[in-house]
Each structure stands twice: as C-alpha cells, then as structure tokens.
Structure 1
Amino acid sequence: MKKSTILTIVAVVVIAIGGGVFYATQKANHNQVDASYNDAMTSGKKAVADKDYKRASSAFEKALGIKQTDQAKAYKDQSDNMLVAITATKAGKYDRALNRVDGVIKQNAGYGVLVKQGKQLKETIEDVQDNYDHEITPIFTAAEEAESNQQYVTAVEQYQRVLDLPYINGQYYSKYKERAQKGIKRDKKAAKNNNGTAAVPYGSKSSRANKHDTGNAGKTGEGAMGNHKVHGKTVTNKQIDQLRKRVGQLGYEASSWSPQDLIDLYRNSGQNRPSKITSQDVQNYLKP
C-alpha cells in the first residue's frame, strides 16, 4: 500500500474520531442543559404547589435563563401576577388584584395548576371586596360619624364590631384590623379625656343597649330571648354574614342589625336560604 494511501486513511480515521468526540460533547452539553432546565421547572412547580409564588417565580426565571421557552416565560408571568394580586388585595386595591389574577387565568400556554389557583384566588378577592363594601365600610362610616360628634364610646363600639367579624383575622383583612385597633385606642383615650372615664367595652350590658349594637328591629317575638334556630337548625356565623349582606343588598343599613335581628328576620321570612329573602320579607318583619 502506498504511503499516500496510508496517510489518507489515517486522516479519515482521525477526522471521524474527532467528529465523534465533538458530537458526543455537544450531545452531553445539550443533555446537561435539558437536565438543568427541567430541574428548574420542577422546582418552580413544587413552589406553586406550596403557593410560594416568589420562589416559583425565581425558579421559572432560572429555567428561562437556561432555555428561552414560551412555557417558562408563561409560568413566570403567572407567578408574578399571583404575587401582585395577593399584595394588591392586602392593600385593598381590588380592581388591580382582579386584573392581575385574570392575567393568570387567561395566560397563553399557562400552567394548569396556576390557572386553577388563580380562579380560587379570584373568588377570594371578590369575597374580600364584598365584605369590605357591605360590612366593613358601613361600620367604619358609623365609627367616623360618632367620632365627628364626639361620641367616643359609640365609636369604640363600632370599631370593636370590625374586630368581632368572623373573618377579620384572615390575611387579607390585616389593614382593616389595624385601622380598627388604632380607632379603639384613639377613642378610648378621647373618651377618658372628655368624660373622665374610659369607653364602655363592647359586649357589656350598657353597650348592648346601644342602638348601634342591637339594631332597631326585632325586639319582640320568638327570637327576642335568644332563639338561634331556623328550620330546626342553629344559624351559623357564615349564615349570619350572608343575612347581613342580603339586608344591605335590599337597601337597608345592615350594620344596625344585630345577629339576633338577622336570625329573627330569617325565621319570620320562611325562606330556606338567606339569598332568597325579599324586600317584602324585611318590610313585613319591621312592621310593629
């Protein structure tokens, strides 16, 4: 065999080996990239399952830095929108919160788990906004009116009503809880300075006699002595909340109705759900 032929064969073999090594190296690098990307995406999904959206956003951002995919970007955008929606809800900025959570739900190529969590969060935001509009705001309005009239004992009682709401310790109500606590502290001090005595604690005998606490309806009848049952079952706090909202929806000052008033109304209406109570039911109940 000629020397030139041998050299040609050697060259071909070297090139083949070099190409193989290059291909193997490239494949190994590609596999490593895929593994790192998948690890980051898995970490993000675990964070979503824990509802830790800050950690989820960081993980999806890491994945996006490894591979620029529509999926990683969509998941990160969803996580960021969940964070903003939660923060906005805590701040009482409900329109902004609902706008961002809609972005989670409608995200193209979005993560199904985040879509489901977004829908749940949207329901929560709507409930919080409804509670604020129909329960918390009227109470704060009554408290501020009492303050403007220097009726500090009454103002304290109204602020205490906010603290007595069954959901007030939830994460989305801390702003209003703090406002009520500050109001109580301020008005107790004002009451003491003006009258020489501290404000009457909410729930005391003299407090319950105040019309702002007990309301102006339902003072006689079956429920007057504390009958808390309707259709043979004890009315729950959740049902009382629903009754208060319904009274407000029908155009009445819901904050002036005590829980017993609401229970009596429910019983007298004959309805099987608070949402079915009508304006005529309320009018009939308020008749002497």
Structure 2
Amino acid sequence: MQIADINKKISIKDERLDIDKISQYRLSFFVSTEECQIVVFDVKKKQLLLFENYELNTSKSLEKNLEEIYNDHILIAAGFWKEIQVFMRNRQFALVPIPVFDRTLASEYVRLNERVDFEKDEFHYKLMDEIGAAVAFGYPSSLKVWFREKYPQLSLYFNHQAVAYLKGLQEQIKTKAPSSLYVSINNNEVQIAGYNLQRLAIYNQFKFSDVNQLVKLMLLTLQQFSTEGQLTPLVLHGIKEKADLYLPVLKKYFKNIELGKRPDGIIMHPIFNELEAQEYMEVLANL
C-alpha cells in the first residue's frame, strides 16, 4: 500500500485482533526519520496481534509522516488503548553506569554523544538494573506534542531503541564464552553490543555505507573489550535482506558467527513466521 510517498513494506495482522478489546492492547511505535514499525500487543494474553513496517518520506518531517499514516489507519486512530509506547531510533543517547548516574544531567550526557537543541528537544532516561547502566536519551519536543494531541487521555511512554535491544539480549547472552559480540543491522544502521563475562562492556550505534565499513566498525569495537579478537562469538540480528547480503563477507572475518533468535515468551500466530527469527528483535523484545 502507498500513502502518498510512504511505503508500507510489511503488514501482518492476526485476525483475532478485536477492536472491542483495545483497552487491553499496547500500541507501540519504533520511529526514525527513515522508517516506522507499528506493533499491537495484547498485554493480558502476551500475544502479538499486528506488525507493520513503513518506509517514510525523508523530505517530510517525522510528524508529517506519522500524520499521514494516522489519517489512513482506522485502527491506530482509536483513542482507548491500554497504553502508547514510542521508541526512538536515533543517536541522541548515552549509557551511564548507575552508580554515577545523575538524573538531572540526562541532557548533558546525551550532548556528549550527539548534537542536541535544548530549546527543541526533550530528554529522559531509563534505568536498566539488569545491565547496571542508565540510558539517557533525547527526542524532538514536537514529536511528543504530536502524540499528546492524538492520544490525550492515554498513558504515553517514550523510550530508546538501545533499551529495547539490550533488554532483548539479556536472554541470549552466551554464558560459556568469556566475551561475545551482538550485532543488529537495520537498513544502513547497526547496533553493536559487547559483553565480557556476561556483563555489558560496550554499546554503540553507527551509520555505515557498505559491508567493508561495517566490518571495520565491528573489529574496532572488538578491540575495546575482547582478547579473543575475531574468534569472539558473534550473534547477528537484523532484517533478512541485509543479513543475507552481508553474511558471506562477515563469515570471512568472524569464525564463530550465528543468526540470532526471536525473544522467548511471545504468543504469535504462524502468520507472523513471515518474519525471520533474527528480524526486528528489539521490537519484539519490547513485547
């Protein structure tokens, strides 16, 4: 389906989605300037009911893209969801060890990593006790205004893709390896997390132009935390077309590489098997 210049690349719906039960459903958005995933999850039954992926028009603002999707989509325009979650896919983030984290300095942590506009951006944080760090992040104030206008009576939560990805990795960490590297590729962005003795040692996000630059980024990351080098076990998540494209080259550099798994504990109709097991892990981990 085409909404003006917006391309709906994936649309999978469980026919058990019941509009009369929306008050027990969570509506989640994973948004960047280039794409948006929209997910409906039955919180009561722990059941995935809808997954959609949109390629946005980068010549328009994020709010304008969302407005067009909202106006064309009868379901997400409903006003009585259990809650709304918005996960930002951007570089406005920073990880800070919890013992030294000061919540009043969230914006300053983010500013050390990426340019911000204190007049136009909002800042928040998420404490992640399981990794011993807080994720401070920023996002446009205009985006918060848009969601508040569309869902004025609902609980609205903003978060960052780093939180969802690291949360999802917790159940997939290799317990028998001294170090391990986890990589998630979505279009031309990569999330990279390194673990030492099952504890997070490094996390970052990068834009990259080709597989050679991707390999370089991965090797540079390995140098910072692993003594095993290219023998470090590598777990690869990401969209199928990119995994298929890059995997032959990655296998030349990394000796212990495998495709990642889907998060456990989610009830999914077989119709969602259209998604490969390693795809959209951070989106499904949020469920």
TM-score tier after normalising by the smaller chain length:
under 0.3
In our comparison, the structure showing a higher alpha carbon Rg is: 1
Structure number with the higher helix fraction is 1
Q: TM-score, normalised by structure 1?
A: 0.26
Ranked by relative contact order (alpha carbons within 8 Å, sequence separation 6 or more), the top structure is 2
